[in-house]
Chain A
Amino acid sequence: RRKRHLAGLISKTRKKRDLSQTDHMAFSKKVLKWRLIGEGYSSQLTIEDQRYIFRLAFRMWSEVSPLEFVEDTHAPLEDVDIRLGFGTGRHLGCNQKFDGTGQEFAHAWFLGDIHFDDDEHFTAPNVGSGISLLKVAVHEIGHVLGLPHIYRPGSIMQPSYLPQESSFEMNWMDRKAIQQLYGACKGRFDTVFDWIRKEKTPYGEVVIRFNTYFMRDGWYWLYENRNNRTRYGDPVPLQTGWHGIPMDGVDAYVHVWSRKRDAVYFFRGTQFWKYDSENDQVFRQDPEGHRYPRLISEGFPGVPSPIDTAFYDRRDSHIYFFKNNLVSVMASSFPKNIRDVFPPVVNRDHPDGNIDAAYFSYTHNAIFLLKGIRFWQVVGSRDRWQRPFLPRNGLLPHKEVDQHWFDICNVHPTALKL
């Protein structure tokens, strides 16, 4: 009778789980609710500290996977996917008794419960002594999501606790392990660009540096090309780093950079803004006396708006505006069909318009057109030198965005600000 009852309990909760496409056990939905249960608070940290640490722990998984997590303190407990609690010895209806101070510090179940041994000395992040609750929470959440222990230096899924260094983050192996279960992060972007800035060295020399940014809706990521990932802690709300541009997103970013001009523009709808790099905000009025936002039709006569996207081509000093299947340049003979301006290298392998983002990358010294989850690289001079038969400005066969720029993942809106 007991076995039948337990089997019934297990089958009820097992419906939350599903065989993923990789035939691994994993959650079948992408937005998961969690709660620190009231009867399971730790006696060592304030409740707010505990909740903050768990919010951060869930967000860290969200930053490297298509999963989103939201704290739910109101729904019936059986509707909460992941329940967390602290206990000692015999605890929280669990049959795995904790062993006291030392050794086992927590355990987790695929059904969604995480238990922490409150006999251990859990501490907040960046506190030197004790056991980092954040690190343990990230580890146990990994189990809940379906990861086993991983015996690799640096992996968050190592079974033994290692004293936390100044900071810990998901390494490449941990990211790919979770993505094997839930897939990579995919999605269209509003715009992608390399932000150029000038810095002075201690010796007074001016050096040019750039950072790569991806924007989607009201968020953005800084992409660290040399590390093949986004900056830790991203995405960030637009208004945090880009003051004055529309908070819910932009259509395009253009940096006009020539010997005579150096101007940055953001486009949204029928308007555009000029960005003041020195003061890190949009111009209300630029030195030429123009007030912003301005209508695109005023600043760029003949260009239809709203636009899909745009980019500045330093090869010919023109801004290319994309709208539907047309490309507009403030020059004669435009607008033209996109297939005429950017012909396909392989027939039928072409975005055919409605481009999401046009991006010149200084890292790759190449122009990319992004649409949906795919991108096409524009044939460059080096490509044509190696293969002269390639058409000028041809589009090479498409590739997947997430296989080129890794782990650009959304988080739940409630997790944007912890």
Chain B
Amino acid sequence: EKPFHNRDHSDMQSLNSHQAQAVTDKYTAELFLSRYGFIEPVNWEEVQLEDSDASFSGDFLDDLQATIQEGISVAHLRDNQAFISALTEFQRVSGLPVTGVFDEATKVAMNKPRCGVPDKEMGLTNPVVATVPESSGDFDFENSTSTSNNTTTVR
């Protein structure tokens, strides 16, 4: 059992779990940017399924992934502009001050819980910032006597 003490299990602790590697410096930031497609769009659809005929071992994939990421990172360490470009893009879409510098606000944003799907994928125009118009009803509802509230209405 994962230990907990609160009635609602809200303080449940994970057994034998390890903490995700935090983004702490420029190198780990580059790994982050690479993983989520800011340096180069990711081909997310290359799914590799574990199968008896396709015996990609977990270690092999770990090494491969690390090698690819390091390879990309090494190449881009030589090209600082690519890193800065990726960083500014991340800052821009995240609503952060676009400084081009790996600052504290950027570090905090990178360490937030997030979805593992890359933000930039091959073949897609990413990221989507705002392409859909706001609500545009044709009529003026100012005389509505509906008691319906705004989005605070509870389901």
**Interface positions of A (Cβ within 8 A of B):** 2, 5-6, 9-10, 43-44, 88, 90, 93, 95-111, 119-121, 123, 127-131, 136, 139-140, 143, 148-153, 157, 159-161, 166-167, 169, 171-173, 176-177, 180, 207-212, 222, 224-228, 231-233, 362-364, 404
Contacts and interface: CB of A to CB of B under 8 A. Distances in A.
B80 interface: no
Nearest to B141: A226
B85 interface: no
A187 B9 CA distance: 45
A95 B61 contact: yes
B53 A130 contact: no
Given A130-B10, A152-B130, A102 B94 contact: no
| Highest count of chain A CB atoms <10 Å: which of B12, B94, B109, B152 | B12
Nearest to B115: A159
6 contacts: A110-B44, A121-B12, A131-B113, A160-B109, A161-B114, A363-B146
B128 A225 contact: no
Contacts of B62: 97
A156 to B, nearest CB: 11
Interface in B135-155: 135, 137-139, 141, 143-148, 150-155
A105 B113 contact: yes
How big is the B interface, by class? 35 or more
B3 interface: no
Contacts of A228: 135, 137
A102 B19 contact: yes
A231 B148 contact: yes
Given A6-B54, A127-B10, A102 B22 contact: yes
Contacts of A103: 20-22, 111-114
Nearest to B128: A150
Contacts of B127: 148-151
A113 to B, nearest CB: 8
B27 to A, nearest CB: 16
A363 B148 CA distance: 13
Contact of B144 (A43, A121, A143, A363): A363
A180 B132 contact: yes
A150 B125 CA distance: 11
Nearest to B143: A363
Contacts of A106: 115-116
A184 B150 CA distance: 22
Closest 5 CB pairs of A and B: A107-B116, A99-B20, A93-B50, A224-B148, A102-B20
Nearest to A120: B113
B82 to A, nearest CB: 21
Contact of A95 (B48, B112, B137): B48
Given A121-B12, A228-B137, A107 B115 contact: yes
Nearest to B55: A2
Contacts of A136: 115
B140 to A, nearest CB: 9
| Highest count of chain A CB atoms <10 Å: which of B9, B10, B58, B151 | B151
Contacts of A173: 130, 132, 134
B117 interface: yes
Contact of A232 (B48, B56, B111, B155): B155
B126 interface: yes
Given A152-B129, A177-B132, A108 B117 contact: yes
| Highest count of chain A CB atoms <10 Å: which of B21, B44, B133, B144 | B144
Contacts of A127: 8, 10
A128 B139 CA distance: 39
A149 B48 CA distance: 23
A363 B139 contact: yes
B151 A169 contact: yes
| Highest count of chain A CB atoms <10 Å: which of B45, B113, B130 | B113
A100 B18 contact: yes
A90 B58 contact: yes
A212 B114 CA distance: 39
A366 to B, nearest CB: 9
Contact of B146 (A100, A108, A210): A210
B115 A140 contact: yes
Nearest to B4: A44
Contacts of B9: 44
A222 B144 CA distance: 14
A130 B8 CA distance: 11
B132 A176 contact: yes
Contacts of B126: 148-149
B89 to A, nearest CB: 11
A172 to B, nearest CB: 5
A232 B154 contact: yes
B3 to A, nearest CB: 12
Contact of A160 (B2, B114, B151): B114
Given A5-B54, A100-B20, A119 B14 contact: yes
Contacts of A160: 94, 109, 112-115
A161 B112 contact: yes
A225 B144 contact: yes
